[in-house]
Amino acid sequence: MTDMTLSHQPSPEAVKARAVLLGRSRWGIAEIAFWVIAAACYFLLPTKLSLLSEIAILGLLALSIDLVLGYAGIVTLGQGAFFGIGAYAAGLAAKHGAGAGPWSDPLIGLFIGGGFAALIGFLTSFLVLRGSDLTRLMVTLGVALIVDEIVNQAKWLTGGSDGLQGVLPSPVLGIWDFDLFGRTAFIYSMSVLFVLFVIARAIVKSPFGLSLQAIKGNPLRTRAIGMPVNGRLVAIYTIGSFYAGVAGALAAQTTQFASPDYVAFHRSADALLMLVFGGAGHLYGGLLGSIIFRTMQDVLGNITPQYWQFWLGATLVGLVLFVRGGILGLLAGLRDRATRNGGAK
Amino acid sequence: MLTILLDGIAYGMLLFILAVGLCVTLGLMNFINLAHGAFAMAGGYLTITLMQQAGVPFLVCLPAAFIFAAVLGLLLERTLYRHLYDKTHLDQVLFSIGLVFMAMAMVDYAYGANQQIVNLPEYLTGRINFLGASIGVYRLFVIVICSLLVIGLQLVLTQTRFGSRLRAAVDDGRVARGMGIDVTRIFAITFAVGSGLAGLGGALGTGIISFDPTFPLKYMIYFLIVISVGGTTTITGPFLAAILLGVADVAGKYYVPAVGGFIIYTIMVLVLILRPQGLFARGPAR
């Protein structure tokens, strides 16, 4: 009897839960402002468009790590592998399409890159289900090293250490060709980033996303309440790989080049650092981190490359020692303190 | 054939000396110190500087490198590392990567990005016949020194009071603490000795591996392989793993240069999946 009434009339708890879930997924003013400013950069910084599209791509890569690490708690040092797979898959497709056929269509290229990366991500996701943080770290690193090794050795396919030359994507949607000033590249990367960001936002705010955060909090208890932990982890790892693959495909298409540098260890490490700069577990952490990271790199790297690396390391050490949760974590902490003080008065 | 085997053993022993400190750090404090290679680099560059600039004899450089890296390790442990023992593995990884970046930048700034080559003393160059195979004198020297060190470490670990305390602390730190063993102090000493050994390994390595500022990143993965395959509970496990890795790496580069690295990484991933506690470790991982 009670079951019947429940199914017809949602309990007050269910109504409350629904309201909480919907409230979490509402767009805030700051969020809208962020994207308006991002779009306005096209007019505000017309000379920096290629840098900006690079930031968008790195932001997408950092977002992919955020999904895997920030939300599901899988420590990974190998996200660069999927970035590289995506870049090479899309690059090879564009190369063999030779700027005309359907294969070199950029949007199809994105799906090829993302799809390949997701496939490899799905297959290797079973390796990261077991074990401690250290094991996961080393397994993901190992997978990245194997991919790196394949890219370097399979010269007939990838061009080896010279990189993949002759990547010629056809115009976006058959209309906008990639120009020298990076206008198309910027709008294209930004649009892809925005679309994927909205999807990621929907994913993490959905019950599925909440279950991931529960797994991150305590896998044992989450399993005990009947959550298919392994299935969820496989799913998010595959999604994360897809995102990284799309980022790689974007990089290959906009720079018309793919090199083993894309799969190298420092690519994974850099992207992880961006996420940590910005704040893991916040959707905007990766985006904010990539903006700061790339701007810092541009400014400090212009003085001398070594300075940049030194300050990067120093910032990292400082972040870990003094600031938990990156910039967004810091802001959230301050806001919490402010509201608590306000409540006390 | 035998030459390759001996070269591989020399290389493997060197890897063991470089990595053994990391095994203890990981086993004792459950701390992932990716910056371990930076200590080895410190030892290596100190040797290069002392020999090229000051003309210090090579054999004096070896203990100097040990002491330098040990002091450096002790200082960093007391000031920075100890704040991170109770943090998450991710924080530890990021922290130590940050240290690696700083170390690389500093070395790059001071010495430039070029590979450094050291002129070994006359009596350590050349090749001799050993059991019918030709082997470099220097490699033989490395094998002898490292064997002595391994025997010494094993003796300290099994025969002395400090060794049994250390083993107790690694096996179960909380109980060891409860028994009145000063785990923090043991750890500081072990960290310093481990860093010192890495420095010594770096100094010894100047004759075999080339040094440039990317050294800590390049060899980090080798250290991690030694540990993951060897486990952290014994000293013989990492030792066997290091020898195996050394031989496999040298032989792989010689016979199948195209897929050598590929095989090593694949083996590492497989071992991690099938035996997370290490190939030679007994009992389940803690």
Average predicted confidence (pLDDT) for chain B: 80
* Mean pLDDT to the nearest integer, B242-266: 78
Alpha carbon of A113: minimum distance to chain B alpha carbons (Å)? 23
Token couple for B236: 């013989």
What's the pLDDT score for residue A342? 56
SS3 category, A267: helix
What's the pLDDT score for residue A173? 67
Q: Which of A194-198, A219-223, A302-306 has maximum average pLDDT? A: A194-198
SS3 category, B114: coil
Burial letters A104-143, b for 16+ CB under 10 A, else e: bbbebbbbbbbbbbbbbbbebbebbeebebbbbbbbbbbb
What's the pLDDT score for residue A242? 92
Full residue range of the structural domain in which residue B8 is found: 2-215
CB B128 within 8 A of CB B137: yes
What's the pLDDT score for residue A1? 43
Interface check A228 vs B, CB under 8 A: no
Q: Give the nearest chain A residue to B91 (CA atoms).
A: A320
Percentage of chain A exceeding pLDDT 90: 2
What's the pLDDT score for residue A344? 46
Query: Where do the domains of chain A lie?
Result: 28-263
Dist. CA A140–CA A127, nearest whole Å: 8
The enclosing H or E element of B172 equals none
Token couple for B165: 């305390």
Please determine, for residue A7, whether its predicted confidence score (pLDDT) is greater than 60.
no
Average predicted confidence (pLDDT) for chain A: 79
Give one DSSP letter per residue of A69-101, joined into a string.
IIIT----S-HHHHHHHHHHHHHHHHHHHTTTS
- Whether residue B247 is contained in a domain is answered as no
* Mean pLDDT to the nearest integer, B180-206: 84
- Whether residue B63 is contained in a domain is answered as yes
Q: What angle do CA B41, B42, B47 make, to 5 degrees?
A: 95
Residues of B with CB under 8 A from a CB of A: 26, 32, 80, 83-84, 87-91, 93-95, 97-106, 108-109, 217, 221, 224, 228, 258-259, 261-262, 265-266, 268-269, 272-273, 276, 285
Please determine, for residue B277, whether its predicted confidence score (pLDDT) is greater than 70.
no
Please determine, for residue A5, whether its predicted confidence score (pLDDT) is greater than 60.
no
Q: Which of A257, A256, A144, A244 is nearest to A196 (CA)?
A: A244
CB A56 within 8 A of CB A39: no
B149-188 pLDDT tens trace: 888 888 888 888 888 888 788 777 788 888 888 888 888 8
Contacts of A203 (CB under 8 A, 6+ apart): A67, A209, A239
CA dihedral of A223, A225, A227, A229, whole degrees rounded to 10? -10
What's the pLDDT score for residue A243? 92
Quote the pTM value: 0.81
Indicate the length of chain B as a whole number.
Answer: 286
Q: What is the DSSP letter of A177?
A: P
A259 confidence band (pLDDT: 50, 70, 90): confident
B30-55 pLDDT tens trace: 777 888 888 888 888 888 888 877 77
ipTM comes to 0.76
Q: What is the DSSP letter of A207?
A: H
B122-153 pLDDT tens trace: 666 767 766 666 777 888 888 888 888 888 88
SS3 category, A174: coil
Contacts of B255 (CB under 8 A, 6+ apart): none
Domain count of chain B?
Answer: 1
- Whether residue B228 is contained in a domain is answered as no
CB B143 within 8 A of CB B6: yes
Half-sphere exposure for A211 (CA within 13 Å, toward CB): 18
Please determine, for residue A345, whether its predicted confidence score (pLDDT) is greater than 50.
no
- Whether residue B222 is contained in a domain is answered as no
More confident residue, A179 or B7: B7
CB-CB under 8 Å, B88 with A320: no
What's the pLDDT score for residue A2? 46
Interface check A297 vs B, CB under 8 A: no
CB A207 within 8 A of CB A63: no
Please determine, for residue A343, whether its predicted confidence score (pLDDT) is greater than 80.
no
Dist. CA B117–CA B205, nearest whole Å: 11
Dist. CA B191–CA B197, nearest whole Å: 10
Q: Which of B71, B256, B276, B44 is nearest to A149 (CA)?
A: B256
Please determine, for residue A37, whether its predicted confidence score (pLDDT) is greater than 70.
yes
